[in-house]
Chain A
Amino acid sequence: MRTVIRDTTIADRLLFVVLIAASIAGIFVSREAMPRGSDVLVEVNGKTAYTFTLDKDRTFQVPGPRGETVVEIKDNKVRVKEAHCPNRLCEKQGWVERGVIVCLPNHIVISVGGKAGISTKGVDAITG
């Protein structure tokens, strides 16, 4: 073991340190950038009604059995701004970065996730 370490050149050690540092930094940077979903998927009655990207601010209305629900996208977050349901749980949930907002009375499911599109994309590759 000692001879192995002794036999490495300075460039070897430098390269090793740089690669390790760069990849660990890369892991953290990509973690930081990734887990926030990039798509907002609005489902009404189990069917996809809208898909929006999170990075564009907008406010839109989703029609449901109890009237229109106002959904707002801002600063990579989503919230239900206004809903006409008894408990208004969806409104109370506030800004959501990932996960789901469900409004049962209006049959609305709002899910946030970069993986929203994956299930519809089909097979990536078949090996063998």
Chain B
Amino acid sequence: MRLQDKYRIAVLSAYALALYGIESLLPTPIPWLRLGLANIITLVALILYGFRTAMTVTLIRVILASLFTGTFLGPSFILSMGGGVTSTAAMGLTYLVSKELFGPVGLSLIGAFFHNATQLTLAYFLFIQRIEAMLVVGPIIVLIGTLTGVANGAVSGLLIKNLLKKECRKIQNDNEDVRPAQ
């Protein structure tokens, strides 16, 4: 891994953790409901820097966030770890199969769906074991997840576009800088 990649992963993880922190400060009507803002960073990492970066950022984010909030290896850690890893894997696989088929919004929807599906399955097998409760709650969670997924995907899309634009301008500037010297 190159130094630049390490630096990139560190910065992205810091952004993801900051978003996670802001998100946990926001009041939500249901305690389990989260906006999943950290997924914006995962998505940006996936599209701009590839699957390995995205997965590393997700793992760092989940582990550090649980250490900060004191839930490391606890039930909610297992849930967020499972959800984070599967959603990143699902988005990564989709993006690997076709880069054209889904845009950021579609990838975000896939991520949100897998995140919720994994968490519901884990919660069922580990904690609740009442299939009726899961059947009632499942569709509601998927619905909310779809709505927040679209919002996150849209934000990711804008972010990626702006970052790419900035990158292009930087390269242009660099080239202009180089030219007079020659």
Q: Is B105 an interface residue (CB 8 A)?
A: yes
Which B residues touch A9, using CB under 8 A? 100-103, 106
How far, in angstroms, from A47 to B123 measured CA to CA in the complex? 33
B132 x A114 contact (CB < 8 A)? yes
Q: By the criterion of a CB under 8 Å from any partner CB, how many residues of chain B are at the interface?
A: 34
How far, in angstroms, from A29 to B157 measured CA to CA in the complex? 34
A16 x B105 contact (CB < 8 A)? yes
Give the residue name and chain of the B residue nearest to A118 (CB): B130
B76 x A30 contact (CB < 8 A)? no
A27 x B139 contact (CB < 8 A)? yes
Using A23-B143, A128-B70 as known contacts, say yes or no to A8 and B136 having CB atoms under 8 A apart: no
Which A residues touch B105, using CB under 8 A? 4, 7-8, 12, 16
Chain B proximity of A63: nearest CB distance (Å): 32
How far, in angstroms, from A22 to B70 measured CA to CA in the complex? 36
Q: Is B127 an interface residue (CB 8 A)?
A: yes
B138 x A26 contact (CB < 8 A)? yes
Q: Is A127 an interface residue (CB 8 A)?
A: yes
Which A residues touch B100, using CB under 8 A? 9
Q: Is A15 an interface residue (CB 8 A)?
A: yes
How far, in angstroms, from A114 to B132 measured CA to CA in the complex? 9
Chain A proximity of B89: nearest CB distance (Å): 17
A124 x B106 contact (CB < 8 A)? no
Q: Is B181 an interface residue (CB 8 A)?
A: no
Give the residue name and chain of the A residue nearest to B143 (CB): A23
Q: Is B113 an interface residue (CB 8 A)?
A: yes
Give the residue name and chain of the A residue nearest to B161 (CB): A7
A127 x B71 contact (CB < 8 A)? yes
Q: Is B142 an interface residue (CB 8 A)?
A: yes
Q: Is A49 an interface residue (CB 8 A)?
A: no
Give the residue name and chain of the A residue nearest to B101 (CB): A11
A38 x B146 contact (CB < 8 A)? no
New contact pairs (13) apart from A23-B142, A30-B136, CB-CB < 8 Å: A7-B105, A8-B103, A9-B103, A11-B101, A12-B105, A16-B105, A16-B150, A19-B142, A24-B143, A25-B139, A26-B138, A125-B126, A128-B70
Closest 5 CB pairs of A and B: A26-B139, A12-B106, A23-B143, A125-B127, A23-B142
Q: List 22 A-B contacts (CB under 8 A).
A: A4-B154, A8-B103, A8-B106, A9-B100, A9-B102, A12-B103, A12-B105, A15-B110, A16-B106, A16-B109, A19-B109, A19-B146, A26-B139, A30-B135, A30-B136, A30-B138, A34-B135, A34-B136, A114-B132, A125-B127, A126-B75, A127-B74
